[in-house]
Structure formats: structure tokens, C-alpha cells
Structure 1
Amino acid sequence: MTHLTMDQLLELRDGLTEPGGAAARVHLAQCPQCQAELERLHQRVAQLKALPTLTPPRDGWPVVRSRLVKARHRRFAWGGAGGLALAASIALVLLLRPALPTPPSSSPNAQAELEAAMLESRLLEQALTQYAPERRVTDGYTARVAAELEDRISALDQQLQMTQMTPAPEGDRALLELWRQRVGLMDALVNVHLTRASNVGL
């Protein structure tokens, strides 16, 4: 014997007349199992109606508001500490930048210049990692500019890999130039995230 579905029981309880409703009523009159299920359904409805109505207290808003204010203060405190750490990292990079020599690429100190550019690039990457832009909300323009810079850095990294296979001294001069470009792009990327792309000339 096929029993009534929950939808059919609900229709019978609510007095709705659907096609086949007469057959469902006949089945209900003859089936004790469906009658018991309909009775349980009536009891559930009665129990739900008997539940007390929950109303929030009238003076609850000040408590909620104070919690929100405290949560914001904690968030801003952590954000301020992260901002200070990032500012210190950038200040370190900017302090090191004037110390980097920029003579012509035929300089005998090309290896030292290359290492200095690589160090500056690493420091900028660390500053960007500390800032953690992927965990921050940003506007569409900033996201687009940052994505363009990241694409350019990725393409430059591929050029760096290919140039490392070039024999010296042509390879050394090209490497130094590429690392300087990478430092410039990384610096622009850090600035984009810090200034929300408002003052970056890209």
C-alpha cells in the first residue's frame, strides 16, 4: 500500500483541494498509519504555536553597540600595529636605496650592485608579505593595478631565468638591469597596496 506523502498530508490538513484530493481523503480514512502521521503533524503545529514569543529587551542596543565598538578598536589596534611594521620595513628599504650605487653597467662592482638589487627586491617582497594584501578589502581599481603589476613582475621573472643562462658579461649587465626593473615594479606594487592606487602613476 502506498502511503500519503507529507505534501498530501499538508494539503489535507489545510483543506486545499488538489487534483486527486478525493482519493487522498479516501486513503486517509482507511489507513491508520497515515491518520497517525496527520495527528503528529497537528501536534507539531500546536507545539510550535505554543512556543513563547521571544522579544529582545528594550535596552539591549547599548550592550550590542559597546561590543561592536570594542571589536572595532581591537581590529584597528591590530591594523595599526601591522601598519607600523610595514612602515618600518618600507623605511628600511628607502634608507637602503640611496646607498645603492648606480654607476654605468660596465662597472667592476657589477656583482655587488646585482646583490644589492636582489636584496632590495627581497625586502620589498617581505614588506608586501607582512602587509598581506590578500586578506584586505580593496577597491576594483587597486585590484586591477595590482594585478597588472603582478603580471609584469611574473613576466620579468621569466626573463630573469632566461638571462641567467646567458654567458657573462652580457648576462651580468642584463641581469642587473632586469633586477633594477623588478625592484621598481615591486616598489610600485607595495605603494599601490599602501595608497590604494590613488597616487601611483600607472
Structure 2
Amino acid sequence: MSHLSIDQLIELREPGSEPGRETAQAHLQQCEACRAEAELLDQRVARLRALPAPRPSRSRFLETRAAFVRGRRRRHIQRGGLVGLALAASLLLAVGLRSDQSPDGTLIPVAQTENELAGAIARSQELENALRLYDPESRVLDGRTAGLALRLEDQLSAVDRQLEMLSTLGQLHTSRRHEQLRLWRERVGLLDALMDVHLTRASFAGL
């Protein structure tokens, strides 16, 4: 049995009487997989709507900035990969440490912190690879979607700068590992949101 496409799910979110709409709606009511995908789409739209409102801009501002997106995205991905490799190597130096202290004072085994960091780094790299495969630079974005993507790119830049600063301190500063973990988790969330922007095409989802 074939399932509804993302385009069809997006169309069903909006009022209308397009040909085949009733058939698609009937399928959605009967298909558990499509209902789950529709719920995921609703969650993505809600996350996008929760982003801060864009600052007032001059005419053609987004078009001008969009020219820099390709090179900047490549730098984000390359920088994130390099930081991840450096951090993964530095984690090996912490094997001799038995425990670490969380911000609330709780002692946590270093191995647990390392595993969580490694998982966040791996997830970040998976999302980066997914962005490469999706090749968003080759796709035309409307102004609103481009604006959301650019805001996420700016936030990624800020996170990457903080990760670079922390990675230069080395693992002698064990209290920094929890900050590194927080930043990597934030980076994963931003990359996930960036994928959502491109995959759901926010402008067609009523944003």
C-alpha cells in the first residue's frame, strides 16, 4: 500500500478542495503510518513557529544574504566535523579519570559523560551527512523559508565558536565537559531544525 507524500500531508493541513483530497483524507484516517507522519509534521511546524520572530529587514535583504548560505553551510559542516574529531580525541585522554561532577554537584562516571558526548557528536555528523545528501544549496527557497534557515545558520555559528573555544582548553578542565555536552546537544537540535525547514518547506506549511 502506497503512503501519502509530504506534499499531500501539507495540503491536507490547509483548507481547500483539490482533486483527490477526499481520497487522501480517507487514506490518512485509515493508515497508521501516515497519521504518525502527519503528527510529526505538526510537531515540526510547531517547533518552527516557536522560533523567534525575524528582525525587520530592508527590501531584498534575504535575497542578498542568501548568496552567502552555500559557503557558510559548508564551513559549518567542516568546522563541526573538525571540532568533533578534536573532541573525540581529547576524550581518550580522560580515560584515567574515574568520575566527574555535574553542575548540581552529583558525581557522574566519566565514561557516562564520554558516551553521551560521543552519541551527540555522532548524531551531529549523521545530520550533517543528511544535509549533504539532501543538497539544499541546489533547491530554490522562498523568502520566509530562507529567513528561517539563515537564523538557524547564525545560531549554529555561535555554537560552533563556543565549541572551538572549549576544545582548545583540553580535558584538564573536567568541569567543561558538561558545557561541551550541552553545546553538542544544542548543535544537534539546530541541525535537526534546519533539516525540518528544508524537508517540510515551512512556507507551504502555513508559516
| Structure 2 length-normalised TM | 0.44
CA radius of gyration, larger in: 1
**TM score, norm. by length of structure 1:** 0.45
